[in-house]
């Protein structure tokens, strides 16, 4: 499946616009500042260390959405009134296996407003309908309570804990919890609504 050919370039959800974050110096600086303003929570997004400088952000965003062969991306910047609030989408789509990992982050000032819960159904529709995937997964650090709450609140099934399977740059060992949602579970929920 050619993900890029069928990927919507822009999706409007209520007051939000989901679109690719432009790989410019201006946005790279913004992302650098957003992450460095709150290193304590962004350590769960970048467990191997926050960006060292703006050039590193720019280089990542220039390459981020490029086809990596077996793994495709459908990540979107979350914009409201032109302001970048965060990112949400499918971090890795394995088309042959028909699965994808879902991921998100929000700048500190955009948290506590239920934005992820509002946008998640749109990303699920993209995954299960547009890309005809069979399963979505959420992988997160065992200490990342907010993300686990989102998973549970949105009907993802807890599938287990990979004990200390991840070692960060600082040498600490971390456990990863896995949640999943099957297309059939998503369809059942949609039918009830």
Choosing from 12, 68, 97, 149, the residue that interacts with ligand COA (CB under 6 A) is: 149
Structure tokens at 34: 């957003």
Helices (H) and strands (E) in the chain, counts: 7, 8
Within 155-184, which residues bind ligand COA (CB under 6 A)? none
Stretch that binds ligand COA, among 26-34, 38-46, 47-55, 158-166 (CB under 6 A): 38-46
Interface size with ligand COA, residues (CB under 6 A) = 18
Query: Is there binding between residue 151 and ligand COA (CB under 6 A)?
Result: no
* CB nearer to ligand COA: pick between 40 and 191: 40
Query: Is there binding between residue 144 and ligand COA (CB under 6 A)?
Result: yes
Cα(182)–Cα(103) distance, integer angstroms: 16
Q: At 22, which helix (H) or strand (E)?
A: none
Cα(105)–Cα(58) distance, integer angstroms: 18
CA terminus-to-terminus distance, the chain: 30
Cα(158)–Cα(176) distance, integer angstroms: 12
**Smallest separation, CB 43 to ligand COA (Å):** 8
Residues contributing to the site for ligand COA (CB under 6 A): 41-42, 44-45, 103-106, 111-112, 115-116, 140, 144-147, 149
């Amino acid at each position: 499946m050619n993900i890029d050919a069928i990927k919507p370039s822009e999706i409007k959800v209520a007051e939000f616009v989901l679109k690719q974050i432009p790989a410019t110096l201006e946005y790279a600086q913004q992302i650098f500042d957003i992450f460095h303003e709150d290193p304590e929570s962004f350590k769960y997004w970048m467990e191997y260390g926050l960006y060292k400088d703006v050039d590193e952000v720019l280089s990542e965003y220039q390459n981020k959405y490029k086809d990596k062969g077996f793994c495709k991306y459908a990540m979107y910047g979350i914009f409201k009134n032109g302001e970048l609030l965060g990112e949400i989408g499918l971090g890795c789509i394995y088309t042959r296996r028909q699965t994808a990992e879902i991921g998100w982050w929000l700048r500190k000032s955009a948290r506590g407003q239920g934005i992820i819960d509002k946008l998640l159904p749109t990303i699920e529709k993209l995954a299960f309908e547009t890309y005809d995937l069979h399963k979505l997964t959420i992988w997160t650090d065992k200490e990342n309570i907010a993300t686990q709450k989102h998973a549970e609140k949105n009907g993802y099934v807890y599938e287990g804990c990979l004990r200390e399977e991840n070692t960060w740059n600082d040498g600490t060992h971390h456990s990863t919890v896995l949640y999943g949602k099957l297309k059939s579970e998503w369809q059942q929920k949609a039918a009830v609504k």
